[in-house]
Structure 1
Amino acid sequence: MTVETIKSIFKCHSYRATPQRIEIYKYLCEHPTHPDVEEVYRYMLSSNPSISRTTIYNVLQSLEQEGLILSVKIDSERVHYDADISLHGHFRCIKCNKIFDFDIDNIKCDSINDFEIKTRDVYYSGICPECK
Protein backbone atom coordinates (compact mmCIF):
# COMPACT_ATOMS: atom_id res chain seq x y z
CA MET A 1 0.00 0.00 0.00
CA THR A 2 1.40 3.37 -0.96
CA VAL A 3 1.72 6.37 1.32
CA GLU A 4 -0.59 8.31 -1.01
CA THR A 5 -3.27 5.61 -0.70
CA ILE A 6 -2.97 5.71 3.09
CA LYS A 7 -3.21 9.51 3.10
CA SER A 8 -6.35 9.24 0.99
CA ILE A 9 -7.89 6.70 3.40
CA PHE A 10 -7.02 8.91 6.36
CA LYS A 11 -8.49 11.96 4.61
CA CYS A 12 -11.78 10.12 4.05
CA HIS A 13 -11.91 9.52 7.81
CA SER A 14 -10.80 13.09 8.65
CA TYR A 15 -7.85 11.45 10.38
CA ARG A 16 -4.60 13.40 10.58
CA ALA A 17 -1.80 11.72 8.61
CA THR A 18 1.31 11.93 10.78
CA PRO A 19 4.44 10.03 9.73
CA GLN A 20 4.08 7.60 12.67
CA ARG A 21 0.42 6.88 11.90
CA ILE A 22 1.17 6.32 8.23
CA GLU A 23 4.09 3.99 8.94
CA ILE A 24 2.23 1.94 11.56
CA TYR A 25 -0.87 1.59 9.38
CA LYS A 26 1.28 0.65 6.37
CA TYR A 27 3.04 -2.01 8.47
CA LEU A 28 -0.29 -3.51 9.58
CA CYS A 29 -1.60 -3.55 6.00
CA GLU A 30 1.53 -5.20 4.67
CA HIS A 31 1.92 -7.70 7.53
CA PRO A 32 -1.40 -9.52 7.98
CA THR A 33 0.20 -11.61 10.75
CA HIS A 34 -1.78 -9.87 13.51
CA PRO A 35 1.19 -8.24 15.24
CA ASP A 36 1.03 -7.11 18.84
CA VAL A 37 2.36 -3.82 20.24
CA GLU A 38 5.85 -5.28 20.78
CA GLU A 39 6.14 -6.42 17.17
CA VAL A 40 5.03 -3.03 15.87
CA TYR A 41 7.42 -1.31 18.28
CA ARG A 42 10.41 -3.42 17.17
CA TYR A 43 9.61 -2.68 13.54
CA MET A 44 9.25 1.05 14.15
CA LEU A 45 12.55 1.22 16.05
CA SER A 46 14.46 0.30 12.89
CA SER A 47 13.36 3.48 11.11
CA ASN A 48 12.66 5.70 14.12
CA PRO A 49 14.95 4.87 17.09
CA SER A 50 13.44 7.60 19.26
CA ILE A 51 9.84 6.32 19.08
CA SER A 52 8.28 5.19 22.36
CA ARG A 53 5.96 2.33 23.19
CA THR A 54 3.48 4.94 24.39
CA THR A 55 3.37 6.45 20.89
CA ILE A 56 2.75 2.98 19.42
CA TYR A 57 -0.07 2.32 21.92
CA ASN A 58 -1.63 5.72 21.24
CA VAL A 59 -1.49 5.35 17.45
CA LEU A 60 -2.94 1.83 17.54
CA GLN A 61 -5.71 2.96 19.86
CA SER A 62 -6.59 5.94 17.67
CA LEU A 63 -6.51 3.82 14.47
CA GLU A 64 -8.92 1.41 16.13
CA GLN A 65 -11.21 4.21 17.34
CA GLU A 66 -11.32 5.55 13.78
CA GLY A 67 -12.39 2.12 12.53
CA LEU A 68 -9.24 1.69 10.44
CA ILE A 69 -7.97 -1.40 12.28
CA LEU A 70 -9.35 -4.11 14.57
CA SER A 71 -7.97 -5.25 17.88
CA VAL A 72 -7.91 -9.03 18.10
CA LYS A 73 -8.25 -10.30 21.65
CA ILE A 74 -7.90 -14.01 20.93
CA ASP A 75 -4.76 -14.27 23.08
CA SER A 76 -5.27 -13.74 26.82
CA GLU A 77 -1.74 -12.37 27.21
CA ARG A 78 -1.75 -9.61 24.60
CA VAL A 79 -3.80 -7.73 22.04
CA HIS A 80 -3.07 -8.21 18.35
CA TYR A 81 -3.97 -5.83 15.52
CA ASP A 82 -5.49 -6.40 12.10
CA ALA A 83 -5.82 -3.92 9.23
CA ASP A 84 -8.45 -6.14 7.60
CA ILE A 85 -11.64 -4.60 8.95
CA SER A 86 -13.98 -6.80 6.92
CA LEU A 87 -16.16 -9.32 8.76
CA HIS A 88 -14.00 -12.42 9.25
CA GLY A 89 -12.98 -14.85 11.97
CA HIS A 90 -9.66 -15.62 13.63
CA PHE A 91 -8.08 -18.97 14.46
CA ARG A 92 -5.15 -19.21 16.92
CA CYS A 93 -2.91 -22.26 16.85
CA ILE A 94 -2.24 -23.45 20.39
CA LYS A 95 1.16 -24.84 19.35
CA CYS A 96 2.78 -22.06 17.29
CA ASN A 97 0.53 -19.19 18.50
CA LYS A 98 0.03 -17.89 14.96
CA ILE A 99 -3.30 -16.27 14.19
CA PHE A 100 -5.03 -17.00 10.90
CA ASP A 101 -8.01 -15.30 9.22
CA PHE A 102 -10.96 -17.25 7.88
CA ASP A 103 -14.17 -16.31 6.08
CA ILE A 104 -17.44 -16.33 7.97
CA ASP A 105 -19.77 -15.46 5.12
CA ASN A 106 -22.28 -18.03 6.31
CA ILE A 107 -22.77 -16.19 9.63
CA LYS A 108 -25.29 -13.43 9.11
CA CYS A 109 -26.74 -11.77 12.15
CA ASP A 110 -27.57 -8.10 11.86
CA SER A 111 -29.75 -7.96 14.94
CA ILE A 112 -30.47 -10.00 18.01
CA ASN A 113 -33.82 -9.24 19.66
CA ASP A 114 -33.55 -5.39 20.01
CA PHE A 115 -29.82 -5.47 20.86
CA GLU A 116 -27.61 -3.03 18.95
CA ILE A 117 -24.53 -4.89 17.69
CA LYS A 118 -21.30 -2.86 17.72
CA THR A 119 -18.69 -5.57 17.19
CA ARG A 120 -18.64 -9.16 16.03
CA ASP A 121 -15.84 -11.45 17.15
CA VAL A 122 -15.50 -15.04 16.00
CA TYR A 123 -12.52 -16.85 17.50
CA TYR A 124 -11.44 -20.45 17.29
CA SER A 125 -8.34 -22.14 18.61
CA GLY A 126 -6.76 -25.49 17.94
CA ILE A 127 -3.88 -26.82 15.89
CA CYS A 128 -3.03 -25.38 12.48
CA PRO A 129 -2.20 -27.63 9.48
CA GLU A 130 1.50 -26.76 9.76
CA CYS A 131 1.70 -27.95 13.40
CA LYS A 132 -0.43 -31.11 12.95
Structure 2
Amino acid sequence: MTEAEIQKVFKSHSYRATPQRIAIYKYLCEHPTHPDVEEVYRFMLTDNPNTSRTTIYNVLQSLEKEGLILAIKIDSDRIHYDADTKLHGHFKCDGCNKIFDFLIDDIKCTGIDDFETKTKDVYFSGLCPECKQK
Protein backbone atom coordinates (compact mmCIF):
# COMPACT_ATOMS: atom_id res chain seq x y z
CA MET A 1 0.00 0.00 0.00
CA THR A 2 1.42 3.36 -0.98
CA GLU A 3 1.65 6.37 1.31
CA ALA A 4 -0.98 8.13 -0.83
CA GLU A 5 -3.36 5.17 -0.44
CA ILE A 6 -2.78 5.15 3.31
CA GLN A 7 -3.48 8.86 3.53
CA LYS A 8 -6.73 8.27 1.62
CA VAL A 9 -7.74 5.52 4.08
CA PHE A 10 -6.89 7.73 7.03
CA LYS A 11 -8.84 10.62 5.53
CA SER A 12 -11.91 8.40 5.06
CA HIS A 13 -11.76 7.70 8.81
CA SER A 14 -11.06 11.36 9.68
CA TYR A 15 -7.78 10.08 11.12
CA ARG A 16 -4.79 12.42 11.19
CA ALA A 17 -1.88 11.13 9.08
CA THR A 18 1.41 11.55 10.92
CA PRO A 19 4.67 10.05 9.65
CA GLN A 20 4.71 7.51 12.51
CA ARG A 21 1.10 6.45 11.93
CA ILE A 22 1.70 6.07 8.20
CA ALA A 23 4.91 4.06 8.72
CA ILE A 24 3.35 1.72 11.28
CA TYR A 25 0.18 1.15 9.27
CA LYS A 26 2.20 0.53 6.11
CA TYR A 27 4.37 -1.98 7.98
CA LEU A 28 1.31 -3.86 9.21
CA CYS A 29 -0.22 -3.88 5.71
CA GLU A 30 3.00 -5.21 4.19
CA HIS A 31 3.69 -7.78 6.92
CA PRO A 32 0.62 -9.96 7.44
CA THR A 33 2.62 -12.02 9.95
CA HIS A 34 0.73 -10.51 12.90
CA PRO A 35 3.66 -8.63 14.47
CA ASP A 36 3.65 -7.60 18.10
CA VAL A 37 4.76 -4.27 19.58
CA GLU A 38 8.42 -5.32 19.77
CA GLU A 39 8.53 -6.28 16.09
CA VAL A 40 6.95 -2.97 15.07
CA TYR A 41 9.33 -1.11 17.40
CA ARG A 42 12.43 -2.80 15.87
CA PHE A 43 11.19 -1.91 12.39
CA MET A 44 10.58 1.71 13.31
CA LEU A 45 14.07 2.07 14.82
CA THR A 46 15.69 1.40 11.43
CA ASP A 47 14.39 4.64 9.90
CA ASN A 48 13.34 6.51 13.03
CA PRO A 49 15.90 5.86 15.80
CA ASN A 50 14.21 8.38 18.12
CA THR A 51 10.91 6.47 18.16
CA SER A 52 9.87 5.31 21.62
CA ARG A 53 7.95 2.20 22.59
CA THR A 54 5.31 4.51 24.06
CA THR A 55 4.78 6.05 20.62
CA ILE A 56 4.38 2.58 19.10
CA TYR A 57 1.86 1.55 21.78
CA ASN A 58 -0.10 4.79 21.36
CA VAL A 59 -0.23 4.56 17.56
CA LEU A 60 -1.28 0.89 17.63
CA GLN A 61 -4.01 1.59 20.18
CA SER A 62 -5.19 4.57 18.14
CA LEU A 63 -5.24 2.58 14.88
CA GLU A 64 -7.23 -0.16 16.62
CA LYS A 65 -9.68 2.32 18.12
CA GLU A 66 -10.29 3.78 14.64
CA GLY A 67 -11.00 0.29 13.30
CA LEU A 68 -8.00 0.36 10.96
CA ILE A 69 -6.28 -2.65 12.54
CA LEU A 70 -7.20 -5.60 14.74
CA ALA A 71 -5.57 -6.47 18.05
CA ILE A 72 -5.12 -10.24 18.05
CA LYS A 73 -5.18 -11.55 21.61
CA ILE A 74 -4.57 -15.21 20.81
CA ASP A 75 -1.26 -15.21 22.69
CA SER A 76 -1.40 -14.83 26.47
CA ASP A 77 2.04 -13.15 26.54
CA ARG A 78 1.55 -10.40 23.97
CA ILE A 79 -0.87 -8.72 21.59
CA HIS A 80 -0.36 -9.13 17.85
CA TYR A 81 -1.68 -6.75 15.21
CA ASP A 82 -3.39 -7.31 11.87
CA ALA A 83 -4.19 -4.73 9.18
CA ASP A 84 -6.74 -7.11 7.64
CA THR A 85 -9.96 -6.06 9.36
CA LYS A 86 -12.30 -8.29 7.34
CA LEU A 87 -13.96 -11.09 9.29
CA HIS A 88 -11.48 -13.96 9.45
CA GLY A 89 -10.07 -16.34 12.04
CA HIS A 90 -6.63 -16.93 13.45
CA PHE A 91 -4.81 -20.19 14.14
CA LYS A 92 -1.80 -20.16 16.49
CA CYS A 93 0.62 -23.02 16.11
CA ASP A 94 1.75 -24.40 19.47
CA GLY A 95 4.97 -25.59 17.85
CA CYS A 96 6.39 -22.60 15.95
CA ASN A 97 4.15 -19.91 17.54
CA LYS A 98 3.23 -18.50 14.13
CA ILE A 99 -0.26 -17.13 13.63
CA PHE A 100 -2.10 -18.01 10.45
CA ASP A 101 -5.26 -16.46 8.95
CA PHE A 102 -8.19 -18.54 7.79
CA LEU A 103 -11.42 -17.55 6.08
CA ILE A 104 -14.81 -17.60 7.73
CA ASP A 105 -17.98 -17.55 5.67
CA ASP A 106 -20.35 -16.61 8.47
CA ILE A 107 -20.64 -16.90 12.22
CA LYS A 108 -24.04 -17.94 13.49
CA CYS A 109 -24.59 -17.76 17.22
CA THR A 110 -27.59 -18.41 19.40
CA GLY A 111 -28.37 -17.06 22.82
CA ILE A 112 -27.14 -13.50 22.27
CA ASP A 113 -30.01 -12.11 20.20
CA ASP A 114 -30.54 -9.07 22.44
CA PHE A 115 -26.83 -8.28 22.75
CA GLU A 116 -24.98 -5.63 20.76
CA THR A 117 -21.90 -7.26 19.23
CA LYS A 118 -18.87 -5.05 18.63
CA THR A 119 -16.23 -7.63 17.78
CA LYS A 120 -16.07 -11.23 16.64
CA ASP A 121 -12.90 -13.18 17.37
CA VAL A 122 -12.35 -16.75 16.23
CA TYR A 123 -9.15 -18.38 17.49
CA PHE A 124 -7.91 -21.91 17.06
CA SER A 125 -4.66 -23.43 18.22
CA GLY A 126 -2.81 -26.65 17.61
CA LEU A 127 -0.06 -27.61 15.19
CA CYS A 128 0.48 -26.25 11.69
CA PRO A 129 1.21 -28.78 8.92
CA GLU A 130 4.96 -28.16 9.12
CA CYS A 131 5.17 -28.67 12.89
CA LYS A 132 2.80 -31.63 12.71
CA GLN A 133 5.28 -33.46 10.47
CA LYS A 134 8.19 -32.96 12.90
- Alignment TM-score, normalising by the size of structure 2: 0.95
Greater displacement, 112-121 / 14-23 = 112-121
Q: Which runs of 5+ in 2 are unaligned?
A: none
- The residue matched to 2:73 in structure 1 has which SS? strand
- Which residue of structure 2 aligns with residue 86 of structure 1? 86
Aligned-partner residue type, residue 64 of structure 1: E
- Which residue of structure 2 aligns with residue 5 of structure 1? 5
Distance in 2 (alpha carbons) for counterparts of 1:37 and 1:18: 18
Instruction: Quote how far apart the aligned CAs of 1:95 are.
Output: 0.5
Aligned-partner residue type, residue 41 of structure 1: Y
Distance in 2 (alpha carbons) for counterparts of 1:131 and 1:3: 37
Instruction: Quote how far apart the aligned CAs of 1:76 are.
Output: 0.1
The root-mean-square deviation of aligned C-alpha atoms, in Å, is 1.3
- Alignment TM-score, normalising by the size of structure 1: 0.97
Q: Structure 1 or 2: larger strand share?
A: 1
Alpha-carbon distance change, 111 to 23 in structure 1, aligned in 2, over 3 angstroms = farther
- Which residue of structure 2 aligns with residue 41 of structure 1? 41
Q: Which runs of 5+ in 1 are unaligned?
A: none
Provide Cα deviations, 1:54-104, integer angstroms capped at 9, x if missing partner. Answer: 000000000000000000000000000000000000000001000000011
Alpha-carbon distance change, 72 to 83 in structure 1, aligned in 2, over 3 angstroms = same
- Which residue of structure 2 aligns with residue 127 of structure 1? 127
Once the two structures are aligned, what percentage of the paired residues are identical?
76
Aligned-partner residue type, residue 115 of structure 1: F
- Which residue of structure 2 aligns with residue 71 of structure 1? 71
Instruction: Quote how far apart the aligned CAs of 1:130 are.
Output: 1.4
Q: Count residues in correspondence.
A: 132
Distance in 2 (alpha carbons) for counterparts of 1:108 and 1:68: 24
